[in-house]
Amino acid sequence: MKLAFVLAEKAWAGSNLLYKWQKSFGRYIAVAGQDNTVKIFDRRGHKWTEINLPGRCVGMDWDKDGDILAVIAAKSSSIFLWDASVSKTSQIDSGMRDQMSFVLWSKTSPLLAVGTVKGNLLIYNQQTSRKIPVLGKHSKKITCGCWSSQNLLALGSDDNTLSISNHEGDTIRQTTVRGKPAEMYFSVMKTDESSAQGESTVSVSVDKKILMLFNINDPGNQIELAFERHYGNIVSYRWYGDGYILIGFSHGYFVVISTHIREMGYELYRAHNHKDCLNSIAISTAVNKCASCGDNSIIIHELSDRKDISRIIQLHDENKGLDQLSWTDDGQLLALSTQRGTLHVFLTKLPILGDSYGTRLAYLTSLLEVTVCNQVDEESPVTIEVEVEPTFIAVGPCHVAVGMNNRAWFYALADQEPGVYICLKDIEYLGTIASMCLNSDYAAALFEGKVQLHVVSHLIRTRRKKAASFATPSLPISSTMALM
């Protein structure tokens, strides 16, 4: 794990940050501080654009495909939608006269739920532009909620109630809880019976003391789980695996429980990860890891063996404390916000990508960095800062190529600067590149059953060295090639 970049805008100084990774792709991260903007950054930490708001951002969420970012702001009854494909912002009038307080996209459809400080609800269909206002869903501020895979919407409110509604906004269940609800999830309990009915359990943190499990098919049989007082308050929790719940507590404790009826109430694992406080937890099933932060450190556990601590990261400069952890969906990047208004992004997973030519190796050492080495000839390793996150790498005696989709960038050893690679050119091909090979003069790119052969170096200009394409209809071309 290595630090990828740090974001520290002047406008964020001294404030807690609200941020969201783009779903699915994780190409963007949207960040809001105390100023009236949401800034969009790419995976390199470069600012892409910003959304100007009439007030401070109070909530945002990406749709299921990561195409649209929905934002709500103080002093506004509008919903702001940023389209990642065209980098443009549109504004939707909610029709509500009160302040927005909650925003969440459906997990399976283009439905957006927006709650207000007076307990009203709006369901907006991005595909049809249909708006369904539901007045009086709750009597006080809507503070939290979640969608199920079956498009049921659970909402929690400061009126100490939990409501379950369908995608039209009709209430199908409602129950009172013993305090203020927070952090709600739909999930499947680990029962002896098959879960043919889908996500039928809603979990909710109540007054940060109790974890309540509410079965919408058996509303009279609520389960309330209380914990040791010395753990402190419930800071956050996550479902994972076959009905397991990971819970982080304010006094630094890190606890795993099961929802299997025979194990209910028993702690399967407990660790005092942080001496004084725990601020946040995160889980990535893509890399099979979980993380907690507190006391100026991040602790990474393996989900397969929770006792196995794979990494501890110390952040000694963050003397005002840490705040929120969040992984990208692919598990490659882990973000950590701090209470002084900075955002640290760490690289936690790197694709195994490389190539060889004789005893020369070229391999990916960061998302935008390739290292070239030849230990047999005792050459010093050389790093190349590349233009894109590559899906393939090719190396020859004098050149390195990287690329993705139908495009490749070629680098060559500089004549005047030994050990330095310079970018010669980039080439677009007529199909997605499956693999590539290099020798001293030529590059061979395999795509769509064809091999295109062309000169690499712009310094080679002999008449016989031109581009050519080859195909063998009767013999399928594999992804393995070699140039001598």
pLDDT score of 483:
65
The encoded tokens of residue 411 equal 């680098």
CATH number assigned to the domain with residue range 354-470, chosen from the 4 options 2.130.10.10, 3.90.1150.10, 3.30.465.10, 3.30.70.1710: 2.130.10.10
pLDDT beyond 50 at 444: yes
Q: What is the pLDDT of residues 49-76, one digit of tens each?
A: 999 999 999 999 999 999 999 999 998 9
Taking 60 as the threshold, does the pLDDT of residue 111 lie above it?
yes
Q: Which of 142-151, 310-319, 351-360, 394-403 has the lowest mean pLDDT?
A: 310-319
What are 242's two structure tokens?
């076959």
pLDDT at 196: 54
Give the DSSP per-residue string, 269-334: EEEE--SS---EEEEETTTTEEEEEETTEEEEEESSSTT-EEEEEE-TT-TT-EEEEEE-TTSSEE
Residue 475: predicted pLDDT? 40
Residue 16 has a pLDDT of: 93
pLDDT at 119 over 50: yes
What number is the average pLDDT over the span 132-153?
A: 97
Cβ(151)–Cβ(167) below 8 Å:
yes
Kindly write down the DSSP assignment for every residue of 425-466, as one continuous string.
Answer: EEEE-SS---EEEE-SSEEEEEETTEEEEEE--TT---TT--
Dihedral sign for Cα atoms in the order 29, 31, 324, 182: negative
Give residue 462's pLDDT.
Answer: 38
122: pLDDT confidence band, cut at 50, 70 and 90? very high
Q: In angstroms, rounded to a whole number, what is the distance separating the alpha carbons of residues 62 and 68? A: 6
What is the CATH architecture assignment of 2-347?
7 Propeller (2.130)
**The pLDDT of residue 375:** 86
Residue 463: the pLDDT is 36
Quote the pLDDT of residue 416.
62
Distance CA 249, CA 278 (A): 6
The backbone region for 220, taken as left when phi is positive above 0, alpha when psi lies in -120 to 50, beta otherwise, is alpha
What per-residue confidence (pLDDT) applies to 480?
Answer: 53
**Domain ranges in the chain with CATH number 2.130.10.10:** 2-347, 354-470
Residue where the block lists tokens 């393996």: 302
Across residues 156-177, what is the average pLDDT?
96
Q: What is the pLDDT of residue 199?
A: 87
| pLDDT at residue number 303 | 92
Pick the residue with more confidence: 413 or 90? 90
CB of 131 closer than 8 Å to CB of 147? no
251 token code pair: 């006094």
198-212, 245-259, 353-367, 463-477: the lowest-pLDDT one? 463-477
d(CA 235, CA 251): 9
Q: Are the CB atoms for 3 and 366 separated by under 8 Å?
A: no
pLDDT band at 481 (very low <50, low <70, confident <90, very high): low
Which band of pLDDT confidence, cut at 50, 70 and 90, is reported for residue 476?
very low
Instruction: Output the pLDDT for position 155.
Output: 98
Q: What per-residue confidence (pLDDT) applies to 468?
A: 60
As given in the structure block, the two tokens for residue 25 are 């792709």
Q: What is the pLDDT of residue 29?
A: 98
Convert the pLDDT of each residue in 333-390 to its tens digit: 999 999 999 999 999 999 899 999 999 999 999 989 999 999 898 888 999 999 899 9
Is the pLDDT assigned to residue 94 strictly greater than 70?
A: yes
How many CA atoms lie within 13 Å of 95's alpha carbon, on the beta-carbon side? Answer: 11
Residue-level pLDDT at 435: 93
How far apart CA 299 and CA 291 sit, in angstroms, is 6
Give 471's strand partners: none
CA angle 204, 207, 208 (to 5 degrees): 75
- Determine whether 415 is exposed, middle or buried from the number of CB atoms within 10 Å of its CB (0-12, 13-18, 19+): exposed
Nearest CA among 92, 104, 111, 89 for reference residue 143: 104
| 230 backbone dihedrals φ, ψ, rounded to 5° | -70, -5
Residue 474 is predicted with a pLDDT of: 42
Residue 158 pLDDT more than 90?
yes
Q: Is the pLDDT of residue 313 over 50?
A: yes
pLDDT score, position 329: 95
CA geometry: angle at 207 spanning 145 and 17, to 5°? 60
What tokens were used for 332? 């490659």
List the beta bridge partners of residue 382. 372
Contact 456, 422 (CB under 8 A): no
DSSP string, 159-190: TSEEEEE-TT--EEEEEE-SS-EEEEEEE---
